[in-house]
Structure 1
Amino acid sequence: MTTAPARPRPRAVALATAVSVAALLTLVAVGTVVHQSLLIPPLAASMALVAGAPGLPLSQPRSVVGGQLLSALTGFTVLLFTGPGLWAAALAGGLALGVMMLARAPHSPAAATAVIVALQNPPFWSFLALLALASVLLVAVGLAGARAAGRTYPAYWL
């Protein structure tokens, strides 16, 4: 039987928490200005992976940025065939997983991004630009936090 991982050091917890709060407050500020605050939930989950479990494949830049963008594109593709709604959201969220797996960029929080796209039908280019910027910001903040903690992040880029 496997046991839970060891309790992290208080400094590591404080640093990961501070990095996450800083990144998410920045995203909330930007999201509020451009009226895309619903992006915060999947990006908060992404930041939790980057700061709290930086060694996981789901936390690597390829998965964070690629997974988010591929999932958004999946949501937009579903919209082309179905229009916005709950059925489209469920379809987009499920299909996003397959797309990310095929691209070797799995990132579970990104499935929620596909759902948001299929529910909201946001403006294509501005949404993708904001999502790309936010995803890169999360990776950059994760990189800075890892350096400050003396950890290695990312394990790989591509």
Structure 2
Amino acid sequence: MTQTRPPAEVPAPARPWHATQAPPRPKALTTVVATASSVIALTLLVAVGEWSHQVLLIPPLAASMALIAGASQTPLGQPRSVIGGQLVSALTGFLVLAVLGQGVWSSGLAGGLALGAMLLLRVAHSPAAATAVIVAATAPSAGPFLALLAAATVLLVLVGLVGNRVNRQAYPVYWW
């Protein structure tokens, strides 16, 4: 008597290499409002900087605004993380600057330590690590830099509030 085996299950076809799990493209209006919010916020920083004869627009703040306008539902885009992360990172940069002085090695250390400090304080904001690098590389005056950074991040969050309201996005997801 011959035994018959049950038929082997045919494996499901593998997903083609070109298939994606990326999120869908946002609606056109969402993209337009997010872009306009970013342009308004960043040019406001330039205008206030020109008026006050200070540099307010630094690259990490452009990245911060991209998160506020384009990824507002993520923890990295919340006001707590934007404002807190930027200030914690700047303070970390000033601490490294005080101990080791200005330079590229100090900058690398400051960027890495800033991430650790932000994680410990629950204010992770990836663009802010670059702020620590800028502080250790350029050695700005602490008082004015911190005051301007605080004002700039608050301005970004305020513009983000308006833009996200126009887009009917609940922002912030949480404040603190």
State the TM bucket, normalised to the shorter chain.
over 0.9
- Name the % identity: 62
Counterparts in 2 of 1:27-38, with a 5 A limit? 27-32=45-50, 33-36=52-55
Aligned to 1:100: 118
Number of matched residues? 157
Do the aligned partners of 1:28 and 1:40 also contact (CA within 8 Å) in 2? no
More helix by share: 1
CA distance in 1, matches of 2:48, 2:96: 27
Instruction: Give the TM-score taking structure 1 as reference length.
Output: 0.95
Rg larger in structure: 2
> What is the aligned counterpart of 1:113 among 109, 127, 131?
131
The reply on whether 1:151 has 2:169 as its aligned counterpart is yes
Asked whether the 8 Å contact 1:82–1:88 carries over to 2, the reply is yes
| Alignment gaps of 5+ in structure 2 | 1-14
Q: Which residue of 1 aligns with 2:75?
A: 57
Q: Deviations over 1:66-122 (max 9, x none)?
A: 000000000000011111111110010000000000000000000000000001111
Please tell me the root mean square deviation across aligned C-alpha atoms, in Å: 1.3
The TM-score with structure 2 as length reference comes to: 0.86
Deviation, structure 1 residue 153: 0.3
Q: Hey, what's the Cα distance between the residues in 2 that align with 1:93 and 1:71?
A: 8
Deviation >3 Å, runs of 4+:
31-35
Structure 1 CA distance for aligned equivalents of residues 119 and 131 of structure 2: 16
